[in-house]
A = this chain, B = another copy of it.
Amino acid sequence: MAGIPIGKGTLLAPTPVVMVSCARPGAAANIITLAWAGTVCSDPPMLSISVRPERYSHDIIAETGEFVVNLVSRELLKACDYCGVKSGRDMDKFAACHLTQEAVPVLDHAPAVAQSPLYLACRVNKRLDLGSHTMFLADIIEAYATPRLMDDTGKLDLYRADLVAYSHGEYTALTNPIGFFGFSVASPAVLERRMAILNKGHTKGK
């Protein structure tokens, strides 16, 4: 194609959409929904989240240096959206969304969202003030998964989490897998075996 210039928007897509939970000691925990999040390093495992300074969670994360990234299943989507448009200054979002706090052993304050299929306990490593958003670079201290995500061999099958993605103002779910890393160069035997598993699909849901 000859691409048409359409301005300098934030059009990287799809992005994850995650519910980030955090808490000051002695105060009600909060949840903020973010799509500006990504893995940034494999070893050590690190991710980044970007938060507007005017958001209620911003200073909680800046002060405590910790947060939990809760992945979002289709079942959680309405609560996820709600936590993205409402402020923790005005309400207890855990209560408003009927969500349960789960203590995270490796963190001091931030609880996880118990209903999330998989969550990542994070400690802030570095902060960059970029403009409209503060980027918090964080070490992933530990990941926690609900047992139903494990297959018969005890291996994590993340497809079972029925995760949601975000793309230009809309939420979508994910189709059955359509390929695997390295499929373009796999031997015919490997390709056949792996694609049979993918075409059969994993099992979504509980």
Show the binding face of A for B, using Cβ within 8 Å.
1-16, 18, 35-48, 50, 69, 71, 74, 77-79, 81-82, 84-86, 102, 105, 112, 114-115, 117-120, 126, 128, 130-133, 135, 137, 140-147, 156, 158-159, 161, 163-185, 198
Q: How far is the CA of A5 from the CA of B147 in the complex (A)?
A: 10
Question: Number of copies of this chain in the oligomer?
Answer: 2
5 more CB-based (< 8 A) A-B contacts, given A3-B145, A41-B135, A42-B131: A12-B38, A16-B38, A38-B38, A41-B131, A135-B137
Are A14 and B174 in contact, CB atoms less than 8 angstroms apart? yes
What's the nearest-Cβ distance from chain B to residue A118, in Å?
A: 6
Whether A35 contacts B39 in the complex (CB less than 8 A), given A8-B142, A143-B8, comes out as: yes
